[in-house]
Structure 1
Amino acid sequence: MKRLLLLTGLLVLTLDVYSQSLVNNEVGGWLMFFNRTRFHEKWSLHTEIQDRFYDISAKEEQLLIRGGLNYHLNQKTWLTAGYGYIESYPPEDVVADKVVEHRIWQQVMHFHAIGRVAIEHRGRLEQRFVGDRYRDRIRYRLMATIPFNNRVMQPKTVFGAVYNELFLHQFESSPYDRNRFYTALGYQFTTATNLQAGYMAQNFAGKTKGYMQLGLTSNLYLLGK
Structure 2
Amino acid sequence: MKNIAFILCLCFSIFKTQAQKKPENQLGAWYMYNGSHTLTDKFAIKTMAHFRYFKFISKFQQEIYRLGVNYKISKKTSTTLGVSYAKADLIFDIPSPHLYEWRLYEDFFLTSKWGNLKTKHRFRLEHRFIHKNTTIDETKNWIRYDLNIQYPFAKNWSIDVFNEIFMNLDSSKRFAQNWTGGGIINKLNKQLKLRIGYFQIKTPSKILKRIQLGVILNTIHRKK
User: Within 5 Å, which residues of 2 pair with 1:1-225?
Assistant: 24-131=24-131, 132-150=137-155, 157-225=156-224
The equivalent residue for 2:14 is none
Contact (CA 8 Å) 2:117, 2:150: kept in 1 or not?
yes
Q: CA deviation at 1:91?
A: 3.2
SS in 2 for 1:66: strand
Distance 2:99 2:170 in 1: 23
Q: CA deviation at 1:207?
A: 1.3
Contact (CA 8 Å) 1:54, 1:91: kept in 2 or not?
no
1:151-208, CA deviations, whole angstroms, 9 ceiling, x for partnerless residues? xxxxxx1100100000000132010000000210111112222111000110013311
Distance 1:164 1:92 in 2: 25
Structure 2: stretches of 5+ with no match in the other structure: 1-21, 132-136
CA-atom RMSD in angstroms = 1.5
Distance 1:39 1:23, change over 3 A: same
Contact (CA 8 Å) 1:70, 1:79: kept in 2 or not?
yes
Q: CA deviation at 1:57?
A: 4.0
Distance 1:192 1:178 in 2: 32
After TM superposition, the score normalised by the length of structure 2 is 0.84
May I ask how many residue pairs the two structures share in their alignment? 198
Distance 2:92 2:179 in 1: 24
Structure 1: stretches of 5+ with no match in the other structure: 1-21, 151-156
Structure 1 runs (4+) greater than 4 angstroms displaced = none
Q: CA deviation at 1:54?
A: 0.5
After TM superposition, the score normalised by the length of structure 1 is 0.84
SS in 1 for 2:41: coil
1:92-142, CA deviations, whole angstroms, 9 ceiling, x for partnerless residues? 533321000000000001111122110000000000001100000000000
Q: Percent identity?
A: 26
The equivalent residue for 1:4 is none
